[in-house]
Amino acid sequence: MPLTGTGAIVTPAAEATRGVGAFNVIQLEHAQAIVVGAEAAGSPVVLQLSENAVRYHGALAPIASAVLATARTSAVPVAVHLDHATSPELVAEAVGLGFTSVMFDASALPYEENVRATAAVVERCHAAGVWVEAELGEVGGKDGVHAPGARTDPAEAAAFVASTGVDALAVAVGTSHAMLTRDAVLDFGLIAELRRTVPVPLVLHGSSGVADEHLTHAVEHGMTKVNIATHLNQVFTGAVRRTLRDHPELVDTRRYLGPGRTAMAAEVTRLLRVLKAPTA
């Protein structure tokens, strides 16, 4: 199936009060697992490469080429998204490579500077037909530092969308990046108010820290694109650890990365059902 625009997946899901799984890729096995899991669920999915993952690989193009190729071989619609990019130059490179969307993160800047920087990126991306996500009300937890007290103001969010022209907005409603436990407390009333106030789909970052039932409730209250990374890394790594514990003689990386990929694929399928993902 051809690579699919992110908006073509997320916008109909928002209209139908469904969730879209947006899962982060660090290596090729991750991308493969996510696509296999989405195919098993019969649901579209978003493959995400973060600025941190690009830094790990030393360059965007090699891992992006692998992820884009994996997306193009899928039996379900797959979008490819640049996550948490703080550099307009990295955004431009992703657009040139064929990414279907980008998340430009200027949330650490003062509000007016965030608006100016984001609007400039949106103008360039829209000229290339690329969908843009931004963040307002900085979601905590970068580098493992949890800051669940951050909250996005609905009126400010609506003004931000009007001023920048973004296609989706990541909001702070109680989640935190890089959580290893699933006990984040979401503000469902705020999610519902944001959904009523903000005219574009809402994005939940830091979703690895949210229990299954609360992920479902978040979608029912108005979240659409749900980003999950750390939780899937835990599943993958756990399977690798068990395999190496049971078979300490292994040296062929395929023999232990393969079980990690299989476990992650199964968890992707399960999570897409938790999110009430649309069928492809």
> Where in the sequence numbering do the catalytic residues fall?
83
Tokens of 203: 């994005």
Q: How many CA atoms lie within 13 A of 4 on its CB side?
A: 20
Q: What gap in Å lies between CA 100 and CA 170, rounded to an integer? A: 17
Of 32, 31, 75, 33, nearest in space to 49 by CA: 31
133 SS3 class: strand
Bridge partners (DSSP) of residue 136 are 171
Count of CB atoms situated within 10 Å of the CB of 139:
27
Of 118, 114, 234, nearest in space to 165 by CA: 118
Q: What gap in Å lies between CA 57 and CA 272, rounded to an integer? A: 28
Q: What angle do CA 178, 181, 185 make, to 5 degrees?
A: 90
